[in-house]
Every structure is written in structure tokens, then in C-alpha cells.
Amino acid sequence: MKNTLEILIRQDEIVIIHPHREHVSEQVDSEENLRGQLLEFCTRHSIKPGNAVLYISEELLFYKDVFLPLKTRDLRKTVAYQMEMLTPFAEEEVLSGFTSKRGRDNFRVSLVVTPRARAEQCVREVHDAGFKLIGLFPESQRYVGRTRQKNKWALVIPGRFFKVFSFSGSHLDDRFLCGVEPDFDDLAAFCGTETIYHQQPPAESRFMPALQLIQKKQVPRAFNLLPEAYRRKDYFRMAAIILLLLNLAAFLGVLGIKEFSLLRAQRQVEVEISQIMAKVKEVNELRDRESQLDNHIEQLRAIGRNPDIIPLLARLSDLLPRQSYLDQLRMDGENRLLLIQGYTDDISGLTTALQELGNARLKSTSRRQNKTYFQVEISLL
């Protein structure tokens, strides 16, 4: 928070702190004109009006924790509607800020409010002095810095009551009051950490001075009570949103181009597949035709190995005795066997005559239709 003037709003006074030298400060009575005193302080220490952040004493704040359902759509509106139920003030009488933490079953909302009149008057006078207002925060947020963002730690602020704040990093987990100076060991056991800072640590105590946090602090973001009328636009946030939208548009553009390329490639693949399938179909048809031709060739080759059937039948007709005729004829070209079946009146003359074709063997005879039904196997010469 370099080059930022700090202003502490307390019960009876206002403290102006030099932006570069923490030990240089000035107390202003709450009844005095803050704008004039602020301009005099800047003139005296050669400070040009720039950024200013205001902190309000914990004595002037009211805290409240409330749990809201996870289905709550707008936490800000819901808290505003229930302000009079949650606090002893009407909504228009206070300045408020809150943080929320999502739990398993609900939102834990930590609400802080302060009476509007005095705080808004200080804000107005600082603004009229020419300063750009960063925010109005609880005094405890002044000690939330970069050094403990990931660790659990605690802070003690003395006053009419000792106020103890328990943090996890920069998030406020709990806040409670002590009527007497808290013991370090008891506080460490209660808060679950031995990293405890004290605004005014007692001598020889184990508390660490809170000034260590101020020296490395950053601009707080939680519990900003600054009225909307005085809040300046967060240009960094706007730039981040614009950059995010541009990146999103670029990502969608690249995604669209890739999607178009994929669709075009898919269409090309589908066309090539259809062409290939047509060729595959043609190849399959040619293979079927080739198979048929192979079968025909094989049959022709088999026929080529058989004896010349026509001369054989003519020879067989000449050799058959009269009153003999054939019923069936089968040829085994591979083994050159001829099997004939038929009818005859002279079985002896038949077998004798068939010997001229080859070795004729009578396989069987039977009596049918008043003739001899024969079956003869001939091994062709």
C-alpha cells in the first residue's frame, strides 16, 4: 500500500498517518474540521493528495455471524433485507460490509456495521481534501498482510474490552471479547495457533508486535464499508474481466476453427470411406467371380481327365447283347471306373461282351419285370 495515506477513526479522535513514515502521525479531535487538518498535515510534510484508506476503530463496530441456505441467490440483497433483524440498526442508519464462506450445508456470512453519520462525514471530508478513497475498513483489517496469507494466526487489540481476532490467512474466522488481558497460553489453545500478534504487547510476553504486519501490509479487501457514492471504479477488475472475455472469445474462436476443421476432415473421411467401400464391393464381386471361374476351370480340368464319353457309349452300345438295355450309368474318371445298371436276358453273354471294354465284374443281380437286373463295374483299359 505504497504512497497511501492512512486515517484511523477512533472513539474520540482521528489519527492521520504519514504514507511513508509510520511513526509520523497526527491526532485530530473528532469535533475539529478533518479536511482542514488533513490539508495542513499534507502541507507540513510535503505530501501530495493521492490515495487514502480509512480504518474505523473496533469500538465503533458491530459484528454478526449469520447462516444462509446454499440456495440463496443474492447474498448482498438478502443481508440488506434482514439488516434490522440482524442488527439493532435500520439499514439506512449504518454502513455495512460482509464476507461469506461456503460450507457443506450453508453460507456463513460475517456481517460488520457502523453508524453512518460519523463515518460518512470523515469519508466526505477526506474526499473533499482531494484524496482518492480506496476503502473504509475495520481496524483489524489493517493488519491483514501478505506475510500470513496461508497460515492460521490471531490478533489482539486492546480497548474498553480486549478484542481477539482469529484468522486463516486473510479470512476472519472468529472474533470475541475479553474482559481482562488474555493469557498467551490460553489464547493459543483457544485459537489453535501460537502465532499471535498484539497491538500493544505487554513487556516480556510471548505476543508478537502487530507493527510487523503493518510494515508488509497490502490493501485489504474484506469488510469494505465505504459508501457506494465514494467508491472508485476498479479499473484493474474491469480490465481483468475484459481480458477474460477476450481470452474466452479467442478460445471459442480457436475451438470453432478446430471444430470446423474436424467436421471438414470428417466429411472428407466419409467421402473417402464411401469411395473405398464402393471399391471394396467391386473387389468382393470380382473375387466371387474369380471363385466361380476357378470352380468352372476345376470342373473342366476334371472333365479333361475323364475318358471320351461319346465313343465309350457308342462302343458300349455295340457290345451290349440284344434284349439288353441300360437303366443307369456312372463314371468315376479319377479311378477310370464305369458302373452300369440295367436289364438283360443273357447275363453270361453280357459280362463276356463287356470284357472288351476292360475288366468287367458282376456286382449284383436281381429279378425284375421278368428280366435279370444287373449291376456291373468295369475298370476301363
pLDDT for res 381: 67
- Cβ contact 120:39 at 8 Å: no
* Residue-wise pLDDT tens digits, 128-150: 888 898 889 998 888 886 555 57
pLDDT for res 156: 92
One digit per residue, pLDDT tens: the chain, 381 residues? 567 888 999 888 889 888 877 777 888 887 778 888 888 888 888 888 888 899 999 889 998 888 888 888 888 888 888 888 888 888 888 898 888 888 888 888 888 899 988 889 999 999 988 889 888 999 888 888 655 557 889 999 998 889 999 988 888 888 888 888 889 999 999 988 999 999 889 888 899 988 888 766 666 778 888 888 887 665 566 777 888 888 888 888 888 888 888 888 888 888 889 889 888 888 898 888 888 888 877 766 665 555 567 787 888 888 888 888 888 888 877 777 888 898 888 888 888 888 888 888 888 888 887 888 889 888 876
Which SS3 state, helix, strand or coil, does residue 355 take? Answer: coil
pLDDT for res 308: 67
In CATH, what class is 1-144+217-232? alpha beta
Domain boundaries, the chain: 1-144+217-232, 146-215, 233-305, 309-380
pLDDT for res 354: 84
Residue 231 Ramachandran class (φ > 0 left, ψ -120 to 50 alpha, else beta): beta
CATH superfamily of 309-380: General secretion pathway protein M, EpsM (3.30.1360.100)
pLDDT for res 289: 87
pTM listed for this prediction: 0.59
pLDDT for res 237: 64
Strands, E, within the chain: which ranges? 4-9, 13-17, 25-29, 51-56, 62-69, 94-102, 106-115, 132-138, 152-157, 162-168, 171-178, 196-198, 208-209, 325-332, 337-344, 358-368, 371-380
- How many residues are recorded in the chain? 381
